[in-house]
Chains A and B, each alone.
Chain A
Amino acid sequence: MTAIATPRRRTSLTRNRLPRIAPWASLVVGLVVGAAVSTLVGFNVFGWGVFAAIAFTIVYVAWSAAVEGGRKARDKFATCLVIGSFIIVVLPLFSVIWTVLEGGIKGLLTPGFLGTSMNGVSGIQDNQSVNTGSRVVGGIYHALIGTLLITLWSTIISVPVGLLTSIYLVEYSRGGRLGQAITLFVDVMTGIPSIVAGLFAAALFATIFGPGTQTGFVAAVALTVLMIPVVVRSSEEMLRIVPNELREAAYALGVRKWRTILKVVVPTAISGIASGVTLAIARVIGETAPILLTAGFATKINLNVFSNWMASLPTYIYFQILNPTSPSNPDPSLQRAWGAALVLIIFVMILNLIARLVARIFAPKTGR
């Protein structure tokens, strides 16, 4: 009883610790010092933040070193670095999203931006809109259609191939020689630079149909090369986590292997597979380089992927920035480019969201 009643003694374990207020005190000191230093070199908010972070780290770690000793100080320093690196990463993300929103909303809200193509829009109209202040004409309709068609075709090709390959790897090969070779090749394919995929499709169709064959389908083939390994990887992972008991139960009931796969294994993993496919689509929908090399440069609406050039959102952004429609007045082109960038980012975000929702909502009920 008496032992409990005595006031808590400062033992060697509790003796040397920073007061709980220490981080906040260091933060205040850091902010003040940071403000002072950044005023010396010319004040801006970014500089203040950087100097304040450095000052905070120095004060906090030095204080800890003085009171708690070297080990604790090193621990605190590592914590500061880890949190700091996270802040460094978040900054460009917000900067990118802010830049796209800032530049894109005006373009997106221009009437007819989503519903018209660039057919007939030339430097004359752009100069006119800058000089007279009329609204910017021309839109992304053709690029939108092109992106959707090209992505659709590459999905149509790569999902069956990717899914069947992963079924072969998981259900049939089970670590055989061919399975190992396929796994290795899929890994290698994952590392193919996107522009090389574009060159491959261009070279393939140039060899078969003669040089200069540039259509939406060539672009779809190029994207397929990039999409297949992603689909194989994600579906393989999903098929592997299907419990073996389910397969064995099906076999025990006398069900054929192919029916087991189609009726038991794939349905169990379907949420993960669908989510993986959606992520793969999100990855290829923003690919620029392959389409640049394979689909040419179109300003008109083209609904046929097998003939003529086709525009897409990423290449639209690229051309509008790099070769403005009116070289003397690039602002309308930039406005259109940012509008298209906003649409593209919205697409990608929605696809990512769908993938997460699919994975969560349709996840198999394990009952555990």
Chain B
Amino acid sequence: MTKAADETAHASPKGPDVTSTETKTSEHSGGARKLSSREGAAGDKVFSGTALSAGILILVVLVAVAAFLVLQAFPAFVAPQSQIADGKGFWAYIVPLIVGTVIAAVISLVVATPISLGVALFISHYAPRRLAQILGYIIDLLAAIPSVIFGAWGISFLAPALVPGYAWLASSLGWIPIFGGPASATGKTLLTVSIVLAVMVIPIITSVCREIFLQTPKLHEEAALALGATRWEMIRMAVLPFARPGIISAVMLGLGRALGETMAVALVLSSGPLIASLIQSGNQTIAADIALNFPEASGLSLNQLIAAGLVLFVFTLAVNIVARWIISRHKEFSGAN
């Protein structure tokens, strides 16, 4: 029925002229294959339909992610709270994890952001061009290393290497709560985790920032230099204002990665209840808690872990949306585009 309708729809605008030219052309080129408009129309329909359904499938998948998480997390919210997390209830279980996750992510960003900006500037504006390309590859390599290997590196190399530093922090800056002693003797602390996370986040922020710095209009840069600006003044006046929304989105991207990172935390951190000190063992993040407890979980504790995953999902979603909002707000005023 639809096929017939389609045929007539195709036949009427084209008319007989087109078909005759088509046959003529095919005869002219040897007549190996006769072009049939009907066959092509079906192909067009099938192909566009397939492409469309692939696109819709993505929407379905994301909705399914949310739906199944909610479905499986639901029992943890409605069950009597005395049955969850050794009688503490769900919120008493999740809030310390959220705080731990946010602390680790924020520290890693505080460490990573200035360094990433420096590296991105180095590659885009300081290093000689040939060298810059190789350095870009090196940074991409750093981004490609799997997180479990960063975790293994953190537990076997970085944590022991930081122990003397933590001892010094505890003895000389111990009056600040976050450096309260006694320092961990193994170095498996939240600060170590944050540093590992920073190392993992740096290549992400760097590669986004580098792309954006390279897009700075050459005329802006040359105008600044021609007016007598030093290289740093040129960067501050031309490059950074142009790149600001991009930098924010890069940092948010890094934040999302740091919030959701699992293996590095699960391997490095010697977890425990929430404490203020960053250099004692203790604290935990949502993702690592799920990874550590999931293999043995069943029944309601499984629902509880999935609920924790839902909280993490909502959290990262919020970060992404805020990032998008900030970028869209800044874009109007940047003046560069």
Contacts and interface: CB of A to CB of B under 8 A. Distances in A.
Interface in A159-201: 160-165, 167-169, 171-173, 178-179, 181-182, 185-189, 191-197, 199-200
Complex A-B, nearest 8 residue pairs according to Cβ-Cβ distance, in ascending order: A193-B260, A286-B146, A85-B118, A164-B54, A258-B47, A75-B230, A168-B51, A78-B232
B145 A96 contact: yes
A74 interface: yes
Given A71-B230, A86-B135, A289-B287, A187 B320 contact: yes
Contact of B291 (A181, A292, A352): A292
Contacts of A338: 152
B149 A228 contact: no
Given A195-B262, A317-B149, 11 more contacts: A82-B119, A93-B142, A161-B58, A169-B55, A182-B55, A182-B59, A189-B62, A193-B261, A225-B65, A257-B44, A257-B47
A199 B306 contact: yes
A63 interface: no
Contacts of B69: 196, 199-200, 203
Contact of B51 (A100, A164, A337, A349): A164
Contacts of B157: 95, 99
A25 interface: no
Interface stretch (B78-86, B275-283, B311-319): B311-319
B139 A228 contact: no
A30 interface: no
Interface residues on B, range: 35 or more
B170 interface: no
Contacts of B294: 202, 292-293
A259 interface: yes
Contacts of B147: 286-288
A85 to B, nearest CB: 3
B58 A203 contact: no
B210 to A, nearest CB: 12
Contact of B119 (A75, A85, A100): A85
A163 B232 CA distance: 43
A254 interface: yes
27 contacts: A77-B232, A79-B232, A86-B123, A93-B141, A95-B157, A99-B156, A162-B54, A164-B50, A168-B54, A178-B56, A186-B58, A191-B320, A193-B259, A195-B260, A196-B65, A200-B69, A203-B68, A203-B72, A204-B68, A207-B68, A261-B47, A286-B147, A322-B266, A337-B152, A341-B152, A345-B146, A348-B146
A185 B312 CA distance: 17
A297 interface: yes
A115 interface: no
Contacts of B121: 82
Q: DSSP majority for the B interface?
A: helix
Contacts of B167: none
Contacts of B137: 356
Contacts of A71: 230, 233
Given A196-B69, A232-B58, A352-B140, A168 B52 contact: yes
Interface string A63-87: 0000000011011011101111110
A82 B126 contact: yes
B191 interface: no
B62 A172 contact: no
Interface of B: 22, 25, 35, 40-41, 43-44, 46-48, 50-59, 61-62, 64-65, 68-69, 71-72, 114-119, 121-123, 126, 135, 137-142, 144-153, 155-158, 199, 202, 206, 230-233, 235, 253, 256, 259-263, 266-267, 287, 290-291, 294-295, 298, 302, 305-306, 309, 312-313, 316-317, 319-320, 324
A243 to B, nearest CB: 21
A144 to B, nearest CB: 15
Nearest to A173: B55
B58 A195 contact: no
Nearest to B259: A193
Contact of B152 (A169, A194, A228, A321): A321
A99 B146 contact: no
Contacts of B114: 85
A289 B138 contact: no
A82 B256 contact: no
A153 interface: no
B118 A314 contact: no
A282 interface: yes
A221 B301 CA distance: 23
A365 interface: no
A89 B119 contact: yes
Contacts of B146: 285-288, 314, 344-345, 348
B297 to A, nearest CB: 10
B118 A211 contact: no
